[in-house]
Amino acid sequence: MEPSQANEDTPTSETNSATEADAFSSGRTRRDPVGWTMWSLAAIIAVSGVFMASIALGRSDSSSVTAAGGSNNASGTPATQPATAAGASIDFQATPAADWTPYDPTLKPADGATEHKLTMHATEKVLEIAPGVTQEMWTFDDKVPGPTLRGNVGDLFTITLVNDGKLAHSIDLHASKVAWNVEMKSINPGESIVYQFKAKLAGAFMYHCGTAPALHHIGNGMYGAIIIDPPVLAPVDHEYLLVQSEIYTGPEGQPGDLTKMMAQAPDAVVFNGYVSQYKFHPIRVEPNERVRVWVVDAGPSENSSFHIVGTIFDTVFKEGSYTLQPDARQGGSQALDLQPAQGGFVEFSFDAAGLYPIVTHKFANVGKGALGLFQAGEVAAAGTPTH
């Protein structure tokens, strides 16, 4: 990043607010010549009113893969991948095409049934993971994250996994207590397996493919969330699910790079499988509505310090337990800390109309795509600041 760009992008006055509100409008497609990433962070700073100008995210060239050189023979990736492949480069300043649609973050309530029967398909599918960048993702039901399962303690889940792919796959649902060698067996292309369990304990659980190397299958998209509601769950106006994960790019249209996964060198850190998607398409609520966001860290290797700029969580549920609820303690929580394969939820409201960035406060990852926005109420395209 050249110093001149930092000067151009660093917010110094309220005049930035109009530009920021305009550009964060849903569905807007643009390419910012001065650098969307830096500009976006400037917007965060402006929105939050926090002086963080010293934090400057690198431009997209910093994300370009420079390593490689070594052999990918140990990676398990297809032979078609060149040994010196550096992987697709993500331009964090690019914006999605006009017909792009985000992954729906809405979490539907449990349907009330005590038995849940569903069929899931293991596939290998080329998906866009950032504007203009595609990868062959390994998926449940052609999407990353896979479908969300939800129920109550005591419910019976019967999942038929069908392998429609060309690799062996499996499923490991963390909400279950079952024998690994029985239920989590890898199945070959064309085969299916029935995985049945009774939900005995509540939580925000991860599920994933456990076929070796599990790092490659999880790192390449084979994960999702299974929500088992705790017995006490207060009514809220909105529920969302955000699954944080990393992306380790292989060549365009090819599977992710296991060598990079082993080195824990992600090209991107994302919510719900796509770089900064809720920056491009903010999640819309109203001021003073109560919002619950479930968060699962799918990893495979990175942690999350889940934070929303401009609000404080008054309720936190982590790994099966309420750690904070509104009561005489009058406590507030600023971040939900999760290691890979941990989950929970936070509840909060926004006191004023405006934009509220969603981040992991491990800020190096914000510049790699772990960035979204809540939009509370109307945000005028060219209005005056609300703070």
Cβ proximity to Cu ion: between 139 and 272 the closer is 139
Determine if 209 is a binding residue for Cu ion (CB under 5 A).
Answer: yes
Three-state secondary structure call for residue 356: strand
From the list 41-49, 64-72, 153-161, 207-215, the region that binds Cu ion by CB under 5 A is 207-215
Task: Provide the terminal-to-terminal Cα distance of the chain, rounded to the nearest Å.
Answer: 30
Length of the chain: 387
Among 125, 150, 217, 307, binds Cu ion (CB under 5 A): 217
Q: What residues contact 104, with CB distance under 8 A and at least 6 apart?
A: none
From the list 1-9, 10-18, 219-227, 371-379, the region that binds Cu ion by CB under 5 A is 219-227
Determine if 216 is a binding residue for Cu ion (CB under 5 A).
Answer: no
Give residues 152-191 in contact with Cu ion (rule: CB under 5 A).
169
Transcribe 197-237 into DSSP letters: EE--S-EEEEEE--PSSHHHHHHTT-EEEEEEE-S-----S
Determine if 121 is a binding residue for Cu ion (CB under 5 A).
Answer: no
From the list 55-63, 214-222, 248-256, 297-305, the region that binds Cu ion by CB under 5 A is 214-222
Contact 146, 208 (CB under 8 A): no
Return the closest-CA partner of residue 260 out of 89, 130, 103: 89
Minimum CB separation from Cu ion for residue 124, in Å? Answer: 9
Lookup: tokens for 1: 């990043």
- For Cu ion, the nearest residue by Cβ is 209
Cβ proximity to Cu ion: between 209 and 309 the closer is 209
Cis amide linkage into residue 230, ω under 30° from 0: no
Among 38, 90, 161, 222, binds Cu ion (CB under 5 A): 222
* Rounded distance between C-alpha atoms, residue 320 and residue 315, angstroms: 13
Cβ proximity to Cu ion: between 254 and 311 the closer is 254
Minimum CB separation from Cu ion for residue 263, in Å? Answer: 21
Cβ proximity to Cu ion: between 222 and 228 the closer is 222
Binding interface with Cu ion (CB under 5 A): 169, 209, 211, 217, 222
